[in-house]
Structure 1
Amino acid sequence: MSCCKSRLSIALLFASQAALAAEVYELPATSVTATGNERVDTETPVSTLALDSQQLFESQSANIGDALRGEAGIAVGSDSAHGQNPYIRGLGKERIVLLVDGMRLNSAQPAGSVTSLMTLALADQLEVVKGGSSALYGTGALGGVINLRLPQATFEDQSVKASAGSASTDNSYQLGVIANAGSEQHALMVGASYADHDNYHTPEGEADKTGYESTSLIGQYRFRYEGIQLRLSHQQQKDEDLWYPGSTRPHPTNPATRNQTIHSPDQKRLLNEAGLTYSGEKGQLDVRLYTQEMERTIYAWADWLGDDIVTNDVSFDTQGADVRYDHYLNSQHTLSAGINYWQMSASPDRMMAQAPAFTTFVSNNPFEDAEITATGLYLQDELSGKQWRLITSLRQDEVSADAGSMNNGARTTGLRHEDSSLSGSVAAMYDVSPLLRPYVRLSKAFRAADMRERYESGLRGDGYYYIGSPDVDAETAHQLELGIKGGDTQLQYAVSLHHQTINDFITGEIQDPSVNTACGSQTYCKQTVNLGSVTVRGVDADLRMKASDSQSVSVKISLVRGHNNDLHEPLFQMPADELTLGWTGQFTETLQLDAQWRLVKSQTLTATEFSRGLEDKTPSFNTLEAGLNWKPARDHKVRLAVSNLTNRTYHEHLAEGLSGAELNAPGRSVALNWQGAF
């Protein structure tokens, strides 16, 4: 870790001398996701990140991946403008639990990003918990949790909030509105947004097939009587004409002249929730029931034919229930207990055109009638003294998976699998002073294989023949985190060192058809396997400091190293080292300027044996952004911003694409946004 410490020292020194940084907030950030109760970040022995509606407005991001880019401990992979996948400390979408208002977004995502089905235009706050969090959130939370919190219906409030914006690089525009009507006992909130994006431009020209449309609608009704609240919530989003240029691959029939690209003519998310909250003097009970449908069309476009050669229509349907009770023993001691249950089912309807003419389509369903059921019971104890805090959590999960068949009906037996896991977490913090709060966190997390990893067998649109593994073992991870936080009105910071070992790491491994007979006659073949173990370690740091009454500076650092202990080489798809510097200047009560400089180191620690040429070394790059905030009235804000100011040609290390021909990031863009309340 000597390199990490030296980089951190240089960054902190630079921040203390230069006028480069982001805004320091007078009030400390709070997070619900870390413990299930709203807690001040600097007083919580967990590494968290919270971006409120003002920060999301200033980021002018089209999706969650865009909003999190450059944050400490987070990287973003990309296969399109829409498909921006966050990585938390080197672990990607399969190992991150995604939530909206605390409810899981269950889906299988062969291309694009599930986080893109969570609209930012209507968001209140975006929260991230870094590190193993299965003790509260169950299977999948090895890397952490991302929770998008939407507006809640508010009693005794009448308001309308609206927003509009446009950007030059993709000729995009977006509109959003949220209205609330409340009385003493009733509250109603409705919101809607629409965004239209053309193909964006890179410094080398237009990036083909990167435009799309997105429409969102949310609503909530609340009723209260004494200590009881009832709520009904609705969320829906529809995205149209989505293409994933990063998925372009040669077709096996003639790799030299034929390519295919995955696209989704439309995808939808529909969620309905009914909930009850009872608040008493000694505790609070919350009960919710919800249903969610994630509908996707996943097609493969053949460039030599100008038509689709694969069509796949599938819906991932989830029914869930959560019960949580918080018991207040006293002002410094809270006991919490909860039960989570969800069941996801799917049965893809996939048709594939047959070579050589590609005019006849036949059924090629990867699996049928698949189902995953998860039940978890957890206990959490939050105890604090005058100068210390202790949070302990324990959880038991049971996960079962089954399917009617796989490999287009070729296999119908031996498909059921069950996993049982005990997760836990112990985290402690000691307050030396408000600016010096060291903490330690030890956690155990787990992840059962998802539906595609277990059951998807047969040819995929990327040209590989996949061998599903119904009996693949669940991953288990042990993580140690040492950190320090602190904050007042002049300075806020958090530094964390983390080390995680993941056993039975689940991945798709390229197979040799001459050795693995399950590949049959297929030249390009992959199988879901367990690696013995991998190790991920690193450091992330976030510092924000007032340099004067009107100016503030900040530094954000991300360094992560992954090691494949089976093959004794770097772990596949580890993000590059990052350093982000920023500056904010308040020149008048209504005028503020800011700038951000993101520096990304070259990534040469690539998997050679495991990836077999699918992972390139990535050159270093840096990008500069600048913005102006103007408040023409108390409840109205205007932001003019320029991103990639120097029109740099680059792509992230985690960009998907043909080796050496990954999709470049957008070039220089000027964006203008307005937000107002009435």
Structure 2
Amino acid sequence: MPTLRPSVVYAALACAFSSLSHADEAAHLSEVTVTAKGYASANVETPASVTAVEREEWLDRGADNVGEALRGQPGLAVASDGAQGQNPVIRGLKKESVVLLVDGMRLNSAQPAGAIASFMSLGLAERIEVVRGPASVLYGTGALGGAINVLLPQARFEAGVQTRAGAEFETANDGVRGTAVMNASGGDHALMLGASLARIGDYRASDGEVDHTDYDSDSFIAQYRFRLDDSQQLRLSLQQHEDRDVSYPGSIKPHPHPQIRSSIIHSPSQTRELVEVGYSRRGSGDTPVNVDVRVYRQEMEREIAARAKGPFGRDFSDTEVTFATDGLDARADWLAHPDHLLSFGVNAWQMEASPERFLSSPPTFARGRNDPFDDGRIEAIGVFMQDDMRFGRLNVLAGLRRDWVEGDADSVNNGAITRGLERSDSATSGSLGAIFEVSKLLRPYANVSRAFRAGEMRERFESSPRSDGYYYVGNPRIEPEIATQFEIGLKGADDDLSYALSAYRTRITDYITGRNVSGAPGTNRCPAANASACKETFNLGRATLVGVEAEARWQAVRGQWLTAAYSRVRGENEDLDEPLFQMPADEMSLGWEGRVAAAWTADATLRLVRKQDRVATVFAAGTENETSGFATADFGATWHGQRQRVRVALKNAFDKPYHEHLTEGVSGMEIDSPGRSLMVSWQGQF
């Protein structure tokens, strides 16, 4: 590979400079992501495991949310407690250990049920990028498993008005979705407006309808950009999303009182609103410096309630809470030398919440106030530096970061505890990776990375029931987790073949989880009614994750493509010498896509998931059961017109009954996934 020239780097940075989210042009570059390095970079030149899923890919599969869009990708799985609650899992690490971003901004929250990834509309997104493995150097606390960045449309300086629109109907849930995005530009002004609406009914599994899986969603976005001159821009971005009448059937559990019998968690309304103001400057000359600065305010407001399914028939617990985050991101990329691209910046945010909870406790069901905590706060600030170096055919990426995180609350347990709630932590994260180009199709790489995760707000301050049937006791003094990963792999790509192989080992110290301390009333810190099913948040000594991943796409015959992907992860609880709680099953997917007639393509995908019999026994105390293996098949056909496409697809064509191993719920009461479904969709540009 020739030495990296300033003009080449400058072109790449010109695509990425507008913000950490993504540039107008970046979405059109082949095999390029911005999340792994913070700016546009080719995947085959990045010494890390990276996944990019384009809009067309998840539209073809009829994915309704981020979790569904990533299902089947190597190293990724889904933990779900309902149709809308689909949380992505990276290399066996769940939502608390994955940083989820929308246009580079964190979706901060403390989720009691459902998916934090549901607080945005997939219908508006253009691309999803995933960094698999510790990513704290760029994204700070929480990125033990990696980072997921959902990229929305950006206002573009393209003269005139352009519009894209789409609609979809699916028979399994009688779901209807509609999306439209408009871009208008003239002179130094550019405006983008978008809306996506969804009306989803209860879906049908192979053995009948699954109750409580319906919901409605409305999402709106807007962005205005103003060019100060050829190198500087100002932007204003607005995002609003609302879900209504969402239930989580994975939360259904028995209740000892005869008036309640069993309960289910539901959310009458949940919203996310974001306002961002940003400034970007593109450098020039032989050593350009690109700068991007943003400030933002994000509010995630939620109503969450527990409803009795017995004679009482009403909500006996309801909570209203707003997680408000104020954030600042500042970043610069400097081509200091033709072979050295330096990045440095600062990220700072503060999240606050004061949930209001009302309980109607048996036997009288008199309604009373019982707030889990008051004025909870988490503040984080991090500074980082990264050097992207080129030595002939060798590319080296090195990064270092320092973070400070502080958590505090005025009180917990309805005001009963006011002391000992503050904790401050600091941590150093780092990464060092190298990739060498032997040829286009042979690029070995290796990396070592370190990340950390401080306890999130719910783990620190809230004591309440969870969807696994246990009452969890919060721990304000919880220590941060530290993850260290070593990974080796191979990558390669040409016109007919692209592939990636990787193997990794991750060691986590002070692993945060829930320890079963169930017993008689008075033997633990749970209320008497919950003492027999009680867990406390604590630090497990050590956990180890070892895995392999593979993916390939091959044009066997002109116009005919074959794909394959494979994932395998083994988690070990070293303290108890048993499998780590809730690890994804091994899986493989095989696919074909090709042209079958003029303007027509067809495709088929087979997903094979192995039986998961590696379950925690001592730690889980019988709450994690084995799941059977399964295979599903999807078929589709697409008509490609001039700026129009129509697709018909059959999902789970053989109506296979199954549920993922990470489906949440009381053991034996997990809900099945959707059965056979016919999907029809249309996409157009004007």
TM-score (normalised: structure 1): 0.94
Letter in 2 for 1:640: V
Task: State whether residues 249 and 260 of structure 1, in contact with CA within 8 Å, keep that contact through their aligned partners in structure 2.
Answer: yes
Matches of 1:530 and 1:415, distance apart in 2: 17
Matches within 5 A, 1:12-51: 28-51=30-53
Per-residue deviation, 1:589: 4.3
Q: Which amino acid letter does the alignment assign opposite residue 568 of structure 2?
A: L
Q: Which amino acid counterpart does residue 636 of structure 2 have in structure 1?
A: G
1:210 is aligned to: 213
Q: CA deviation at 1:518?
A: 2.7
* Alignment correspondent of 1:609: 618
Whole-Å separation in 2 of the counterparts to 1:222 and 1:461? 43
Which amino acid in the other structure matches residue 353 of structure 1?
Answer: S
2:309 corresponds to 1:307: no
Report the Cα distance in structure 2 between the residues aligned to 1:606 and 1:463, rounded to whole angstroms: 18
Contact 1:163 1:676 in 2 (8 A): yes
Equivalence for 1:668: 676
Local SS of the residue matching 2:597: coil
1:371 aligned residue: 377
Alignment of 1:332-351 (within 5 A): 332-351=339-358
Query: Pick from 300, 320, 326: which aligns with 1:319?
Result: 326
Residue 124 (structure 1) shift: 1.2
Alignment of 1:220-299 (within 5 A): 220-224=223-227, 225-253=229-257, 258-281=261-284, 282-299=288-305
For 2:181, the equivalent position in structure 1 comes to 178
Q: Which residue of 1 aligns with 2:481?
A: 475
Distance in 2 (CA, whole Å) between partners of 1:630 and 1:174 is: 20
What is the CA RMSD across the aligned residues, in angstroms?
1.6
Gaps of 5+ in 1: 1-24
Give the residue type in structure 1 aligned to 2:621.
Answer: R
Distance across 1 between alignment mates of 2:358 and 2:667: 28
Task: Please name the residue that 1:421 is paired with.
Answer: 427
Aligned residues of 1:481 and 1:499 also touching (Cα < 8 A): yes
Tell whether the 8 Å contact from 2:293 to 2:329 is kept in structure 1 after alignment.
yes
Matching of residues 218-617 of structure 1 within 5 Å: 218-224=221-227, 225-253=229-257, 258-281=261-284, 282-304=288-310, 305-358=312-365, 360-458=366-464, 464-513=470-519, 516-519=523-526, 521=528, 522-617=531-626
Separation in structure 2 between the aligned mates of residue 581 and residue 666 of structure 1, nearest angstrom: 20
Q: In 1, distance between residues paired with 2:653 and 2:469?
A: 38
For 1:513 and 1:642, the matched residues in 2 are separated by 49
Q: Is the 1:26–1:489 contact (alpha carbons within 8 Å) kept by the matching residues of 2?
A: no
Query: How do 1:143-154 and structure 2 match up within 5 A?
Result: 143-154=145-156
- 1:189-247: CA deviations, max 9, x gaps? 00001000110001110000100000000000001122110000000100000000011
Letter of the structure 2 residue corresponding to residue 76 of structure 1: V
Pick closer, same or farther for the CA change 1:27–1:545 going to 2, 3 Å. Answer: farther
Aligned to 2:75: 73
The count of corresponding residues between Structure 1 and Structure 2 is 651
Offset, 1:248: 0.5
Q: Is the 8 A contact 1:90 1:574 kept in 2?
A: yes
Q: Secondary structure at the match of 1:656?
A: coil
Report the Cα distance in structure 1 between the residues aligned to 2:638 and 2:236, rounded to whole angstroms: 36
Q: Is the 8 A contact 1:118 1:148 kept in 2?
A: no
CA distance in 2, matches of 1:587, 1:152: 35
What is residue 169 of structure 1 aligned with on the other side? 172
Q: Residue deviations 1:490-545, cap 9 Å, x none? A: 10000010100000000111213359543363322211100001000100111110
CA change 1:43–1:512 in 2 (3 A) is: same
Give the structure 1 partner of residue 130 of structure 2: 128
Query: Secondary structure of 1:298's partner?
Result: strand
Q: Contact conserved, 1:284 with 1:326, CA < 8 A, in 2?
A: yes
Find the partner of 2:194 among 191, 194, 217: 191
Q: Which amino acid aligns with 2:680?
A: L
Deviation at 1:604, TM superposition (A): 0.2
Unaligned runs of at least 5 residues, structure 2: 1-26
Q: Which has the higher contact order (CA 8 A, sep 6+)?
A: 1
Q: Which residue of 2 aligns with 1:88?
A: 90
The CA distance in 1 between the partners of 2:572 and 2:124, in whole Å, is 39
The answer for the alignment partner of 2:19 in structure 1 is none
Quote the Cα distance in structure 2 between the aligned partners of 1:532 and 1:465. 22
User: Paired residue for 1:634?
Assistant: 642
Please tell me whether the aligned partners of residues 468 and 664 of structure 2 are also in contact (alpha carbons under 8 angstroms): no
Tell me the distance in 2 between the aligned counterparts of 1:356 and 1:91: 40
Whether the 8 Å contact between 1:571 and 1:607 is mirrored in structure 2 is yes
Distance in 1, matches of 2:646 and 2:338, equals 42
Q: 1:329: Cα distance to partner?
A: 1.9
Question: Deviations for 1:416-442, whole angstroms, at most 9, x for unmatched residues?
Answer: 000100000001000000100000010
Q: Offset of 1:254 from its aligned partner?
A: 5.3
Query: Identity over aligned residues, as a percent?
Result: 47
Q: Secondary structure at the residue paired with 1:343?
A: strand
Q: Structure 2 CA distance, aligned partners of 1:464 and 1:545?
A: 47
TM-score (norm 2): 0.93
Structure 2 counterpart of 1:48, which letter?
V
Specify the SS of the correspondent of 1:504.
strand
Letter in 1 for 2:239: Q
State the distance in 1 between where 2:523 and 2:399 align: 43
| Secondary structure of the corresponding residue to residue 292 of structure 1 | strand
Distance 1:34 1:530 in 2: 29
Q: Is the 8 A contact 1:267 1:294 kept in 2?
A: yes
Amino acid at match of 2:262: N
Contact 1:252 1:463 in 2 (8 A): no
Partners in 2 of 1:92 and 1:590 — Cα distance? 41
Q: Give the conservation status (yes or no) of the 8 Å contact 1:270–1:294.
A: yes
